[in-house]
Structure 1
Amino acid sequence: MSSPLSGVMVSGGPGCHGRIDRADDPALPPAVLITVHDDAPPGVLREVCAGAEEQGIPTAILSGPPSDADDAGRHAAGESRLEVGVGIGPDGAVVVRHALVPAAVLVLDGGSPPSRVRAAGADAARIVAGLALRAM
């Protein structure tokens, strides 16, 4: 089942709750929220979700008007009950943010290898779990 995103699956992967419109839905368990640009490469979303799922933290794709990866990450972190969000830009850039930290926690340029993108998703989950980051 495809979303309006360019080839991105609605679920994002096994640990992803799919696309949501509201982060405050009580039926949705707390999750790392991901805001992704419509033109983002589909593999980037899949790897971010897989990395978080490997750490046992669920993800959900938050609808929103992302302009770039940093703004998207800031929006996702601000809406997440876990206060951690990931933004994915149109070029595949990935930004991991925490709502209480003014600067981005982790930034990957577009075109980063899938293993680094997966590690960024894992690190977003590791922030929630209070563990050391791997990609630093």
Structure 2
Amino acid sequence: MTDADAPPAVRLVTASDCEALSRQVAHGLEEESVPVRAAEAAFDDPVAAAFDAAGESRLEIGVALSPERIVLHHERLPSAEPLLAVDRPSPADARRVGTNAGRLAKRLPLRL
């Protein structure tokens, strides 16, 4: 199955050593019944990585996660202006970002 054939999903890119936080993002998306397509990748700028991930998502939503920062971006926003960014994210922050990514996909109000 190619990416074009895959069901629409939020694209999540994670730096190494972020498995616990990545699971929390996925749980937040699952609570909203929105699929996620995750991959590990090396990146220096989480804002740029989230914007690139949004461009790869058929839902136009991307999340980049590192131990230092989590970023939620939409492809239609300016590349340097993410929808949401949290420094030094806790598991609760990661789950909240996942929930908000799902709510964005469903066009529901965000829970900030």
Bin for the TM-score computed over the shorter chain: 0.7 to 0.9
Q: Does 1:68 align with 2:45?
A: yes
Q: Which consecutive unaligned segments of at least 5 residues does structure 2 have?
A: none
1:45-56 equivalence runs, <5 A: 45-56=22-33
Q: CA RMSD in A?
A: 1.6
Q: Which consecutive unaligned segments of at least 5 residues does structure 1 have?
A: 1-21
Question: Which secondary structure state, in structure 1, belongs to the residue aligned with residue 48 of structure 2?
Answer: helix
1:70 Cα deviation after fit: 1.3
- TM-score normalised to structure 1 length: 0.73
Q: Does 1:99 align with 2:75?
A: yes
- The structure-2 alpha-carbon separation of the partners of 1:74 and 1:109, relative to structure 1 and needing over 3 Å to count, comes to same
The CA deviation string for residues 42-91 of structure 1, in whole angstroms up to 9 with x for no partner, is 211010010011000000114654223212211110110000010012x2
Which one has the bigger helix percentage?
2
1:25 Cα deviation after fit: 3.9
Relative CO higher for 1 or 2, CA cutoff 8 Å, sep ≥ 6?
Answer: 2
* Kept in 1: contact 2:18–2:65 (CA 8 A): no
- Residue 11 (structure 2) aligns with: 33
- TM-score normalised to structure 2 length: 0.88
Where in structure 1 do 4 or more consecutive aligned residues deviate above 4 Å? none
1:99 Cα deviation after fit: 0.2
1:81-96 equivalence runs, <5 A: 81-89=58-66, 91-96=67-72
